Structure 1
């Protein structure tokens, strides 16, 4: 057997021995970790019911708990129920002097637990929570890390549905502030104080997408509350959401404008097209009313007027005004027709009387009629008429452009249609100018 063969045999046995020693070292290390856990959390050695001491083990100082979180997703913001849903990783960190242990020369960085009831836990709760649940797939998404200096890190993934009171006066041009509030339920500030972790206490996932909102910014603050049982520590984070206007522009504002403009087509139809004008007016009015009811169905019934209410109300008024305009045109048309008939009858009567007088003159040639056709120049009434004519000729009236233009249309009904063709678009354009300048640059009112 060659020397090379002996070399490979020796190398093989050396590898087996080193692997066995490494496994034994790992087993021994895990055994030491188990002993450390039994040492600090063994029966009769640690009581999870007792609050940790304050800084440097002082008994009369509160326990400080540092909080930070990671917002994983915001699934929905419900305007009707005034709530929003969020999924987050929530973390708390505090120091418990009773949990100090030997780190075995830096080899044991921390101990990991999955049972929260093994150590003392802060009694934190979310004060504006409506619903919430932990995540247990595949295992409970929770862990507790105990560090050699007695520091405890608690991390859990939870989903919450939180109340978000909204001010909808500027809807849909509004911004909403939704809060997430955390407080102690039983420990007062003399025993427990929550603090935001220094640095970056709130992190948000980078690819956060909301269907109709944009998260502009978030602010952390404190919200301690005083009751008749004491003062309780409280933390809050305010999420500022801006509503995406493009959706409402396409779904509400542009369709409403189109309905209003379609209602103006009635002004260009013939006055005698009664079925067409009535059908157009009624159809646009019903469509606008349906649009308004659909918008209000997705919003809570509030006691104040919203920006969308002003818009739909004015658009509905314009459509209804176009329908009333046709009613006025129809009435004026019938009045013009009646006047025309009366004038025709009067002309027929005058013509008949003239014909009768002519026949009478022809038949009675012996009768003479002295009818003065022209007054004597010295007649005072003739002089007065001459003076009035001279005054009118000396001071002629300035022509009125509007009256001159309207005089081209002989009937009142036609004049109403022509005036409406100009008045309705001008007034609607003026309303748009006032509406957008008011709500686009209006500051949110402080509650």
Structure 2
């Protein structure tokens, strides 16, 4: 056997020996870790029911618990139920002098537990929680780390549905503040105090996406509460959400504007097109009413008026006004027709009386010269001129103004009273609606900036 074979045999044997020694070292290290756990958490050595001592082991001082969290996602913000759902990693850290141990010259950095009932835990609860659950896939998402100096770190992943009272007066141009409140349930501030961890106590996942909101900022604060049983420590996080307006602009505001404009088409249709104008008015009115009911169905029944209520109410009024305008036009048209018929009958009677008088004048030749200055034939130019002057004087306005001067340009037969109502509506409705838009957007947009 050559020297090369001896070399590889010795190398292989050395490798086996080193691997065996490493495994034995690991086994010995795990055995030491087990002994440390048995030493600090063994039966009769640690009681999880007893609160840890305060700072520097002072029993009469409160236990300080530092809190921080990592906001993983916000799944929904429900306007109707006034709640929001959030998933977060929640962490608490405190010091328990009873859990100090030897770190074996720095090799044992911390001990890890998965059973929270093995050590004392703060009795923290979420005061505005509606529903919540832990995550147990594949294993329970929870751990406890015990450090050599007795510091305890508790971390858990939870999903919560929290109450969020909303003020919807500016909806959908509003901002909402949703809070996450944490407090002690049984320990008063004399025994337990919660503190925010120094330096970035709340972290938010990057690229947080919400369908209808944007998380603008968040603030941490304290909210200690006093009751008949004492004062309890409390922490809170205020999340400021801004509602995305583009969705409502496309789904609500633009369709409502289109419905109002479509209702104005009735002003340009002929007065005699009764089925078309009635169908157009009723259809737009029903569509607008359906749109309004659909919007209100997604919102809670509050006692105050919202910005969207003002918009839909005014749009519905404009559509209803266009339908009433046709009713007024129809009534004026029938009234004009009745007046024309009466005038025609009156002219026919006058013509008949004039013809009879003319026949009498022709039979009485002796009285002809006396009657000519008093009675003239209907075809006489002077009589027609006097009648035209009389009609012009009757129709001429006593106080001429711009509107009447503009309306007087239309001949009476081509622009009757009903026609003039349509002409006025073509200008009045768009102008008033444009004025309403100016007042509405300036009022609510400026109010939104003031609320900031």
Q: Distance in 2 between matches of 1:339 and 1:408?
A: 21
Separation in 1, partners of 2:384, 2:182? 101
TM-score (norm 1): 0.93
Question: How far is 1:407 from its partner?
Answer: 1.6
**Corresponding position of 1:141:** 141
Report the secondary structure of 1:391's partner residue.
Answer: helix
Q: How far is the alpha carbon of 1:392 from its aligned partner? A: 12
In 2, Cα distance between the equivalents of 1:84 and 1:300? 15
Q: Which whole-Å CA distance do the structure 1 matches of 2:354 and 2:401 have between them?
A: 38
Partner of 1:167: 167
Quote the offset at 1:367 in angstroms: 3.9
Evaluate the alpha carbon distance shift between residue 339 and residue 17 of structure 1 in structure 2; reply closer, same or farther with a 3 A threshold.
Answer: same
Paired residues for 1:15-414 under 5 Å? 15-367=15-367, 370=370, 400-410=401-411, 412-414=417-419
Residues 379/16 of structure 1: CA separation in 2 closer, same or farther (3 Å cut): closer
Deviates more, 1:133-142 or 1:373-382: 373-382
Deviations 1:70-128 (A, max 9, x none): 01100000000000000000000000000000000100000000000000000000000
Shift of 1:233: 0.2
Deviation at 1:370, TM superposition (A): 3.9
Q: Secondary structure at the match of 2:206?
A: coil
2:450 equivalent in structure 1 = 445
Contact 2:214 2:241 in 1 (8 A): yes
Deviation at 1:274, TM superposition (A): 0.3
C-alpha deviation, 1:365, in angstroms: 2.3
State the shift of 1:284 in Å.
0.2
CA shift for structure 1 position 379: 26
Mind listing any 5+ residue stretches in structure 2 that lack a counterpart? none
Relative to structure 1, the CA distance from residue 263 to residue 124 in structure 2 (aligned partners, 3 Å threshold; closer, same or farther) is same
Distance in 1 separating the partners of 2:377 and 2:280: 64
Report SS of the residue matched to 2:410: coil
Structure 1 vs Structure 2 CA RMSD: 4.5
Distance verdict in 2 for CA 1:195–1:444, change over 3 Å:
farther
Change (3 A) 1:180 1:395: closer
Distance change in 2, residues 1:429/1:233 (3 Å): same
| Secondary structure of the structure 2 residue equivalent to 1:84 | strand
Worse overlay, 365-374 or 13-22: 365-374
* Deviation (angstroms), 1:292: 0.2
CA offset digits 1:313-353 (Å, max 9, x no partner): 00000000000000000000001111111111111111111
- Tell me: CA distance 1:271–1:138, structure 2 relative to 1, closer, same or farther (3 Å): same
State whether residues 68 and 197 of structure 2, in contact with CA within 8 Å, keep that contact through their aligned partners in structure 1: yes
The 3 A distance-change label for structure 1 pair 146 and 168 is same
Residue 402 of structure 1: CA displacement?
Answer: 2.2
Q: For residues 191 and 162 of structure 1, do their structure 2 counterparts lie closer, same or farther at Cα, with a shift above 3 Å needed? A: same
Structure 1 residues 35 and 387: alpha-carbon distance in aligned structure 2, compared to 1, 3 A threshold:
closer
Match of 1:416 in 2: 421
The secondary structure found in structure 1 opposite 2:59 is coil
After superposition, the Cα gap between the structure-2 partners of 1:10 and 1:390, relative to the gap in structure 1 and judged at 3 Å, is closer
Greater mean alpha carbon deviation, residues 2-11 or residues 303-312: 2-11
C-alpha distance in 1, partners of 2:451/2:395? 67
CA distance in 2, matches of 1:388, 1:446: 66
Q: Deviations over 1:356-381 (max 9, x none)?
A: 01100111224467456599999999
Matches of 2:107 and 2:208, distance apart in 1: 39
- Would you say the 8 A contact 2:215–2:241 is kept in 1? yes
Tell me the alpha carbon deviations over residues 215-236 of structure 1, each in whole angstroms, 9 at most, x when there is no partner.
0000000000000000000000
1:399 positional shift = 5.7
Question: Taking structure 1 as reference, are residues 396 and 110 closer, same or farther at Cα in structure 2, changes over 3 Å only?
Answer: closer
Distance 1:422 1:132 in 2: 58
Instruction: Name the CA shift for 1:306/1:444 in 2 (closer, same or farther; >3 Å).
Output: farther
For residues 13-66 of structure 1, the C-alpha deviation after alignment (integer angstroms, 9 at most, x for no partner) is: 111111111000000000000000000000000000000000000011100000
1:402-426 deviation per Cα after TM superposition (whole angstroms, max 9, x unaligned):
2222123345000000000000000
SS at match of 2:88: strand
Taking the aligned partners of 2:5 and 2:228, their CA distance within structure 1 comes to: 87
Distance 1:303 1:122, change over 3 A: same
Q: Give secondary structure in 2 for the equivalent of 1:293.
A: helix
Distance change >3 Å, CA 329–CA 394, structure 1 → 2: closer
CA 1:359–1:382 in 2, change beyond 3 Å: closer, same or farther? closer
**For the residues of structure 2 that align with 1:383 and 1:338, how far apart are their CA atoms?**
24
